[in-house]
Amino acid sequence: MSKIKKVVLAYSGGLDTSVILKWLQDVYDCEVITFTADIGQGEELAPARRKAKMFGVRQIFIEDLREEFVRDFVFPMFRANAVYEGEYLLGTSIARPLIAKRLVEIAKKTGADAISHGATGKGNDQVRFELGAYALMPNVRIIAPWREWDLLSREKMLAYARHHGIPVDYEKKRGGAPYSMDANLLHISYEGGVLENPDYEPEESMWRITVSPEKAPGRAEYVELTYSKGDIIAINGRKMAPARVLAKLNQLGGRHGIGRLDLVENRYIGMKSRGCYETPGGTIMLKGHRAMESITLDREVLALKDDLMPRYARLIYNGYWFSPERRLLQTLIDASQKSVNGMVRVKLYKGTVMTVGRASKSDSLFDPAIATFEDDKGAYNQADAAGFIRLNALRMRIAAKLKNRKS
């Protein structure tokens, strides 16, 4: 295999990727190009640039991908109402294909031989990054230091950092937070450390973007969501771009203690993992979207989407965003959304989201004249139900008669 001359590193500027940067330079004796994505993690990115420059990095890419993230990844996923294992809204999972896409694009642009990431050999992210990269650049070479080096403890990494003069902030020297965090515009995840005991209740101070439901306002807040083809385009009548929609819903949901989740999930590689998540805006989006579909989608179309959703969610969780099957499912899902237009009104109160109104002037399938319990003036013939029920009972009646003959 030819020598690697240039590698693009997914770089946050934190301890792990700073160590990886220096390790790549030493072990592979190659030029390192850093790529840092702003997908709404809420951190200043200038320190990442300074650290990269300190170690002689000449090509530094720091990009604001928030709009692309929500428009091209989060919104399509929510059109499917995707939920993994009944609860998880896939906040980390959906960010990885975008990062993989940009790693590959930068590698092609700069003529790099390889890409590198800081995901461990125990987690899902290594799979997500690499499946995405291979789907877009089949012959790409991938360096995953956690699968190669012997720096398998925090103490060893800190010792390596000290030896090579890599800046480590005070909190990291003291051992850091008792868990690891990953944030983007859709959510914050917490795992590892004290959370590895699934019977341990996290302290209240862990949560960053939601107040506790107990301390949320004592008065409910109503929010109106306007939909076009399955996507929210306005909040309370004010039109917004996708990233702004999600940021605003995070603010509203966080204020009311919405979107906290404590979950033991099944990783793709086979082990169970405990994670805690904050997804306030996404929780509101899911509730609102299902309410909008409830009056604009045909019954069997809605049922088909619900049948396909768990598979679609698993594809995203397991890293198959760029797979032909996910793309095919997305085509079907997006076609179903042409009629998902209108308004949904939700009530936010102490950790809950309740739909209290929905309307669509152009696409509602709800017919009050038929649904009414009052006089429908002949719109629906109730006598038709007798034959309908009797025909649907036919197979059960046949089976019951056979059972009676045998007894």
Catalytic residues: 16, 96, 125, 180
In angstroms, the CA 16 to CA 14 distance is 6
Tokens of 130: 């690499």
Question: Do the beta carbons of residue 33 and residue 106 sit within 8 Å?
Answer: yes
State the CB neighbour count (10 A cutoff) for residue 87: 12
Longest dimension (CA), the chain: 87
In angstroms, the CA 132 to CA 96 distance is 8
HEC string of the chain equals CCCCCEEEEECCCCHHHHHHHHHHHHHHCCEEEEEEEECCCCCCCHHHHHHHHHCCCCCEEEEECHHHHHHHHHHHHHHCCCCECCCECCCCHHHHHHHHHHHHHHHHHHCCCEEECCCCCCCCHHHHHHHHHHHHCCCCEEECHHHCCCCCCHHHHHHHHHHCCCCCCHHHHCCCCCCEEEECCCCEEEECHHHHCCCCCCCHHHCCCCCCHHHCCCCCEEEEEEEECCEEEEECCEECCHHHHHHHHHHHHHHCCCCEEEEEEECCCCCEEEEEEECHHHHHHHHHHHHHHHHHCCHHHHHHHHHHHHHHHHHHHCCCCCCHHHHHHHHHHHHHHHHCCEEEEEEEECCEEEEEEEECCCCCCCCHHHHCCCCCCCCCCCCHHHHHHHHHCHHHHHHHHHHHHHC
In angstroms, the CA 30 to CA 7 distance is 7
When computed from its CA atoms, the radius of gyration of the chain, rounded to whole angstroms, is 25
